[in-house]
Amino acid sequence: MSRSELSALARGVGVHLGALTAVLADRYGDRPAVIDPERTPGLDHGETRSFTDIEDAVARLASVHAEAGVGPGDRVLVVCDNRLDVALHAFAIARLAAVPVPVNHRLTGHEIDVIGQATGATAAVADDEVADRVPDRLRLRRVSEVAEALPAAAHRAPAGDLDPDATAILLTTSGTTGVPKAAPLTSRGLLSSLGRLTVVPLGADLGPLRRDRDRILACLPLTHVMGFSVLLASLSAGLPLVRRARFRADEVLDLIEHHRPNVLVAVPTMFADLERAGAADRDLSSIQLFVSSADVLPPDRARRLQGYGGLARIAGRGVGSAAVVDIFGMVELSGPAAVRLYPPSPVGSLPAPSFAVTLPGVRLRVVDEDGRTVPRGTVGELQWRGPNVLGGYEGHVEGGPDADGWFGSGDQGRLLGGGLFQFAGRSKDRLKVGGFSVFPAEVEEELEGARGVAELAIVGVPDERLGERLVAVVVPTDGFDDHAFLRWARDQVAGYRRPSEVVVVDAIPRGPNGKLDREAGTQLAVDALSEEDA
């Protein structure tokens, strides 16, 4: 494959998710693709999988799903632990012109059922340990059954007509009304922002950076749009990805010193944990680029990260400071859409100023409450347009882009000169817990009817490690027990969407229109918890 053809691939021109691994296997062959000790049931491989190995796995899995009756248009839940299997099944299902729906395996049976209904799923593949949480109405294939049915050899024959502009994958996003929405993403949208990877010499046969040294380290969930995007980015660039299903700070520091990656991708909570685990005293000089995603990275932490890595290596030692990229993205934008860059410096103690810019092919505007474009420098809602923007939510008329293709993110910011912009704040209804988006209305709906609770509101209070942690503001009735409530909540919602504390109040704060005043409720919780700490 020529460089121009690879550039077309990375831009998503004519390449469907179901054919991607076959195209990349032709390009990169036995080059290392993923370094991960987690084993795929039924497939023999060591810690390192080549691009050929990945295509072999996808082809064999596609054969099993086809024999199970999966066909064009079918929605199939993928409920697996955070192994590479999540992506392998997604690629295989997409190859059949069906639509994979990756689901966080930690969700409760009720939560999985809601996602199944929202996406119109008719089938599921699930780890044996979570299979009993899959709704009975779905045609279920256990991972152990898939492993037993795998053919001995792959049949590398991608489906004939795969439309890169058709829905290739469905990822669910929480809704402010309490009902999750299914975001249909296309192959073109997912891959459109990756064209820049062919501009820099990462993974190239020639150039100042060598393919045998460039590698990425990430421990992100593959059911999250950012985790999936990182995998697509590393594969498309031909770079090995060192990954683990779980993030453990001590292990990641060991991996950096052992594998010497030059790119580390994590969420702010992970970077906070790395610092607590002694990052300042470890050798992170191989890192030239720290990439943060899913939430805002505090500037002081970004500056410290720059000092841990290096612009270049001379005689095995880091020189200067690393670059830090803080990514803005969301599932509706097919992943990353803009970056805040802390450029590297030849002298670590002389940092350059940071700035934010949209990624190639993505357009941005700022509007007021009436949807009118505001003057440069004025704060308003950030709206996005481009091939990465979803066309609309599955089964929903409202909430997607307008007639001209502009999608309102709910985030606030201002445009500057030269194509730069600044963030001014997040949407007041979207909370970020350890990098995961949580809409409190959804959690409130799932916790309604708790014993001893007359009314409740979920708010996010600042947390140094998680960014925000969830707190339940509760109006109690007789017999309310906050400890019993929290224990009960563990069975109702997944860990990152679960309140960790309770604040008891006489009344939930409301505005003149009777709607919940979440900002006032948040302040009430902050004040109450501060008094307890004092």
Question: DSSP characters for 120-165?
Answer: T--EEEE-GGGGGGS-TTSEEEEHHHHHHH--SS------S---TT
Q: Which of 167-181, 240-254, 284-298 bottoms out in mean pLDDT, i.e. has the lowest? A: 167-181
Beta carbons within 10 angstroms of residue 359's beta carbon: 22
C-alpha–C-alpha distance, residues 170 and 185, integer Å: 6
pLDDT for 67 equals 93
pLDDT for 351 equals 52
CA atoms within 13 A on the CB side of 464: 6
Q: Which of 2-6, 291-295, 492-496 bottoms out in mean pLDDT, i.e. has the lowest? A: 2-6
Q: What is the mean pLDDT of residues 480-490?
A: 93
Higher-pLDDT residue of 205 and 171 is 171
Confidence of residue 203 (pLDDT cuts 50, 70, 90): very low
Tell me, letter by letter, the H, E, C secondary structure of 57-118: HHHHHHHHHHHCCCCCCCEEEEECCCCCHHHHHHHHHHHCCCEEEECCCCCCHHHHHHHHHH
Confidence of residue 255 (pLDDT cuts 50, 70, 90): very high
Exposed, middle or buried, 526 (CB in 10 Å: 0-12/13-18/19+)?
middle
> Which residues, including other chains, have CB under 8 Å from residue 91's CB and lie 6 or more apart?
17, 18, 20, 21, 58, 61
Beta carbons within 10 angstroms of residue 463's beta carbon: 16
C-alpha–C-alpha distance, residues 220 and 411, integer Å: 24
Confirm if 338 and 382 have CB atoms less than 8 A apart: no
Q: What residues are paired with 423 via a beta bridge?
A: 413
Q: What is the mean pLDDT of residues 4-19?
A: 64
DSSP for 372-422 reads PBPPTT--EEEEEESTTS-S--TT-SSSS--TTS-EEEEEEEEE-GGGEEE
Residue 459 is given by DSSP the state E
Q: Which of 155-169, 245-259, 370-384, 516-530 bottoms out in mean pLDDT, i.e. has the lowest? A: 155-169
**pLDDT tens readout for residues 416-452:** 877 788 876 666 567 888 888 787 877 887 888 789 9
Q: Which two tokens stand for residue 353?
A: 């100023």
Residue 227's region, left for phi above 0, alpha for psi from -120 to 50, else beta, is alpha
pLDDT for 76 equals 98
Confirm if 481 and 450 have CB atoms less than 8 A apart: no
Confirm if 303 and 337 have CB atoms less than 8 A apart: no
pLDDT for 13 equals 53
C-alpha–C-alpha distance, residues 165 and 12, integer Å: 10
Is residue 522 scored above 50 in pLDDT? yes
**pLDDT tens readout for residues 86-131:** 999 999 999 999 999 999 998 889 889 999 998 999 999 999 999 9
Q: Which two tokens stand for residue 500?
A: 């960790």
> Which residues, including other chains, have CB under 8 Å from residue 513's CB and lie 6 or more apart?
none
Residue 440 is given by DSSP the state H
Is residue 5 scored above 50 in pLDDT? no
C-alpha–C-alpha distance, residues 91 and 458, integer Å: 36
Q: What is the mean pLDDT of residues 329-339?
A: 89
Mean pLDDT of the chain: 85
**pLDDT tens readout for residues 256-289:** 999 999 999 999 889 999 999 999 999 999 999 9
C-alpha–C-alpha distance, residues 475 and 508, integer Å: 7
| Residues 351, 355, 360: CA angle, nearest 5 degrees | 130
Confidence of residue 313 (pLDDT cuts 50, 70, 90): low
Confidence of residue 48 (pLDDT cuts 50, 70, 90): very high
Higher-pLDDT residue of 531 and 349 is 531
What are the phi and psi torsion angles at 146 (to 5°)?
Answer: -60, -45
Confirm if 75 and 120 have CB atoms less than 8 A apart: yes
Is residue 180 scored above 90 in pLDDT? no
Higher-pLDDT residue of 316 and 69 is 69
